[in-house]
Amino acid sequence: MTSSAKGSPHRRRHEDIEAVGTGSKPAISDDKDESVDNSPFDIISTKNASVDRLRRWRQAALVLNASRRFRYTLDLKKEQDKKQVLRKIRAHAQAIRAAYLFKAAGERINVLPATPIGDFGIGEEPLTIMTRDHNRAALQEYGGVKGLSDLLKTDTEKGIQGDDADMAKRKEVFGSNTYPRKKGRSFWRFLWESWQDLTLIILMVAAAASLALGIKTEGIEEGWYDGASIAFAVLLVIVVTAISDYRQSLQFQNLNEEKRNIHMKVIRDGRRVEVSIYDIVVGDVIPLNIGDQVPADGVVITGYSLAIDESSMTGESKIVHKDSKDPFLMSGCKVADGSGTMLVTGVGMHTEWGMLMASISEDNGEETPLQVRLNGVATFIGIVGLTVAVAVLLILLIRYFTGHSTDDNGKPEFKAGQTSVSHAVDGVIRIVTIAVTIVVVAVPEGLPLAVTLTLAYSMRKMMRDKALVRRLSACETMGSATTICSDKTGTLTLNQMTVVEAYAGGKRLESADKSHLSPMLCSLLVEGIAQNTNGSVFMAEGGGGLEVSGSPTEKAILQWGMKLDMNFEAERTKSSIIHVYPFSSEKKRGGAAVRVDESAVHIHWKGAAEILLASCTAYIDADDQLVAMNEDKVTYFKKAIEDMASSSLRCVAIAYRTYEAEKVPDTEEELSQWVLPEDDLVLLAIVGIKDPCRPGVKGAVELCQNAGVKVRMVTGDNLQTARAIALECGILKAEEEAREPYLIEGKAFRALSDAQREEVAENLSVMGRSSPNDKLLLVQALKRRGHVVAVTGDGTNDAPALHEADIGLAMGIQGTEVAKESSDIIILDDNFASVVKVVRWGRSVYANIQKFIQFQLTVNVAALVINVVAAISSGDVPLNAVQLLWVNLIMDTLGALALATEPPTDHLMERPPVGRREPLITNIMWRNLLLQAVYQVTVLLILNFHGKDILNLEKQPVDHANKVKNTLIFNAFVLCQIFNEFNARKPDEVNVFKGVTKNRLFMGIVAITLVLQIIIVEFLGKFTTTTRLNWWQWLVSVGIAIISWPLAALGKLIPVPATPLSELITGAFLPLWKSITGRSKLLSSSTLNFYLN
């Protein structure tokens, strides 16, 4: 079997990236993916990408302010430091234990006495030392677990009282379950980092020089304007950038707090209640099940095959079995197997986990695929911008020193031997300032950061839609998802289960009533229901009747037992549990061995009806007689199961067998290894449990299918039950689809070869009786077929599939902590409709980034071309440094805020998924941005060269005429960008105003930009070298800008080729390049494609 190796999350195939319908790519081996990539930016999936890969693309990027560009990406140095701290703390913990074991072997260890503190018989220090050293001698000295619980004023079965006074006392004596966290960066730190941009530093130096020379030559009253205006513009850019980044950091801090706030069940005053991990106190009794995180230090009260994964603390992947010989539990570890209860002895900073978490700062930064690709785009644009800036610098310097640059009166600005040094230096500074400002506009530092902005916005909004994002990249990857492998229970259904049909005594029960059952059968049934369960029945707070806790299935069966007059507490005390086999998703069953009296032991089983039925050799009839299971009766029960399953009922069988008491293992060690016998069972009952489909799930499934995302149901339920639910939900559209190859059982799927699995997976809609490994195999097969796979899961055994999938979606209510930690997004309400909302947001992230790119490239192209052409032809530029910095602010920060925060629309779900190798800049975007850029360049250059004639300024003084002309060019240019922001909202729709009023942030930013532009032109002319415009000139500016709207609408009627522009260019020029150079390595097709995309 090679699938598991090839589908490893640490290896990815290049051909696995294409969305449905985007065309296939030739296969490239896994090894090539890591070592021989054509482009350093080509990280297809950043999920589990190596640090070396991440370092490569950062070093390849053209970056002028690394602290800003890579702010929300993974801090590679901090990651290494964090690993070193972890190693040190783990080594320290192991050294302490080794020393304890060595000392214990030679002598009796001194035990700190249990000194009473407050209301408690023991203080925090002896508890901490006992747990840290795993000191069993100390535990025995304190009277074992029972004696320790008495000292802590708690009950091993009912827990603490849990009222406010009790909680306050415990927190005061033993501390709270929190640890000090390193403070996030302050606003001043963000302000400092915004200064680090090389271009801004050069501009500040230029401003200082300009200020000094201006004051020297023109005096302090007039000479400070030029230098001060540049300095103010730079400061404005820095402050606005810092504010924007600081707000984002606060959003991430809030989201991180949500991620850490785990909720757990604790037993208080005899009731199971759910509390935040931060509210757990010393003395709490906590039930532990597979996949749970150990929330504090403590000792085992009871444990059944309890196994703990301590790798998070020790660094070793060995699973440790916990019993009375090794009862100590460490905070932060995971329950790998079994179940049990624990007594909390240490919380917060009195645990090794607390010290560990306080010593490291959590870095949630990561590279997202879009950030990586945008760094390539930003680098390409930056290279072009630098080239243009250098060209402008050289042209202007040459023109200046050769006397071809003239002042407003037409006289040369520089005459050799006549112009003073200070005047020449001032001219050079002005030229350098213009060139550097062109770089500021051309190198889009904000482009990759715009991804973070839209992701932060999306993450905040997704929280309202009941989705907690654990990994940033999952947001955007969901936009590329081509298939969702969903669980049934709780995701497609309500998870509100009720027993609606039952078979017992060899017949169908008409109602859940004790009178319909024989005495012995009823007694055994009630015993099995009460003892073989993880749930509980207790009095509601305030005496409002009985409450039931546990999983939805457990609750349904317990409620059915209560209808049979089951007294839960009485049944639990009648007999004692010897050993428990926790429910296994592999075997689809769970069992418990119960000692009824000295000589009798009953072994109760509960699980999938048809699987348990196969182990039954007899049943109890209506007369309490044990009747052998003949062929007719097996057929009868099988038919009953099929009938219930076809009615969407989950079928669960309850069975038991007797066992000789003398064969039960005596020692605790043997008992932990004891395998409960599961043959020769006696069938007690088969129940049908109804779990209704969620309202609206059919519409959500249909929405996905219309969006090109195939929904597949993967469930552990009977195939007939799964088929009925799939038809009800719309996953199967008709009876014709309700058969192979659309349906398959897990065991049949896993028996196929890799190639066969790929073929079957392509058409598969429903997999029944699946194990977690079947889900993993399905994910791997789909990824090999080129799908981008999203998977839902809630169990510990789902972790490999969640980790392997492109997007792992864990359930917030039913999901275990292990499943949540392996996931990328947590669905807080376990609802499939919330999964569909995540798809919408994922597509919205990608679409918003494309809108921003289109808007920014239009500004880039127009500003660069206008200044270059003007510089070459006239030796001067119409857009000066301060004006370009204002344009940069509109484009970089305000533009990102306006366009990156567009909410998702239904239109996004009418498109096919976005292939992750599809061009980032589509042909539609090229058409839109080139159309707008050409229009702006044409109109503004005409104004630059013939503006005086057009605006009737010939009779005005030359200096004033030039100022009015340049002011109008600047004003029209800025207004064009404001109007073009509306066009960028809808790149492929004619009506660009649709839904615009719903986005208040967009409207607010447009309004603020417009007001500031009016203030700049009308009142800040001294600083921006502009002059006031009259109403007619304002109308001309607005008229030029408003034409961009009908122009955009007409442009959208122009058809674009299906082949990406990058492929057309490479197809045309690559053969020519090869024929000229005889080489293709310097300009590989994929590299050029990447930069153009």
Active site residue ranges = 487
Which residue type, as a one-letter code, is found at position 555? Answer: K
| C-alpha to C-alpha distance for 452 and 248, rounded to whole angstroms | 8
φ/ψ bin of 223: left (φ > 0), alpha (ψ from -120 to 50), beta (otherwise): alpha
| C-alpha to C-alpha distance for 870 and 665, rounded to whole angstroms | 94
965 φ/ψ angles, rounded to the nearest 5 degrees: -60, -50
| C-alpha to C-alpha distance for 277 and 265, rounded to whole angstroms | 9
Which string of b and e fits 579-616 if b means at least 16 CB within 10 Å? bbbbbebeebbbbbbbbeeeeebbbbbbbbbbebbebb
| C-alpha to C-alpha distance for 246 and 258, rounded to whole angstroms | 19
| C-alpha to C-alpha distance for 243 and 246, rounded to whole angstroms | 5
The answer to whether 758 and 784 are in contact (CB under 8 A) is yes
Which value, to the nearest 10 degrees, does the dihedral of the CA atoms of residues 633, 638, 639, 643 take? 140
DSSP assignments along 477-495, one per residue = HGGG--EEEE-STTTTB--
| C-alpha to C-alpha distance for 199 and 191, rounded to whole angstroms | 16
Q: Which residues contact 34 (CB under 8 A, 6 or more apart)?
A: 11, 50, 53
| C-alpha to C-alpha distance for 273 and 296, rounded to whole angstroms | 17
Q: How does DSSP classify residue 542?
A: T
Distance from CA of residue 425 to its chain's centroid? 54
The answer to whether 488 and 498 are in contact (CB under 8 A) is no
H-type alpha helices, 812-922: 817-822, 832-874, 881-889, 895-899
337 φ/ψ angles, rounded to the nearest 5 degrees: -160, 160
Residue 848 tokens, joined = 């918003």
Please state at what angle helix 881-889 crosses helix 225-260, rounded to 10 degrees: 20
| C-alpha to C-alpha distance for 811 and 371, rounded to whole angstroms | 28
- Half-sphere exposure at residue 604, Cβ-oriented, CA atoms within 13 angstroms: 25
Which residue type, as a one-letter code, is found at position 39? Answer: S
Distance from CA of residue 529 to its chain's centroid? 40
| C-alpha to C-alpha distance for 135 and 327, rounded to whole angstroms | 10
N residues, the chain: 1093
Residue 793 tokens, joined = 């899961």
Positive or negative torsion for Cα 436, 439, 445, 447:
positive
Q: How does DSSP classify residue 1043?
A: T
Residue linked to tokens 């995180």 = 293
Question: In this structure, how many other beta carbons lie within 10 angstroms of the beta carbon of residue 515?
Answer: 8
SS3 264: strand
789 φ/ψ angles, rounded to the nearest 5 degrees: -110, 130
Which residue type, as a one-letter code, is found at position 61? Answer: A
- Can you state the percent helix, strand and coil of the chain, rounding each to 5? 55, 15, 30
CA distances from 887 to 117, 140, 646, 863, 867 (A): 67, 75, 65, 9, 13
Which string of b and e fits 363-375 if b means at least 16 CB within 10 Å? eebbbbbbbbbbb
460 φ/ψ angles, rounded to the nearest 5 degrees: -65, -45
Which residue type, as a one-letter code, is found at position 371? Answer: Q
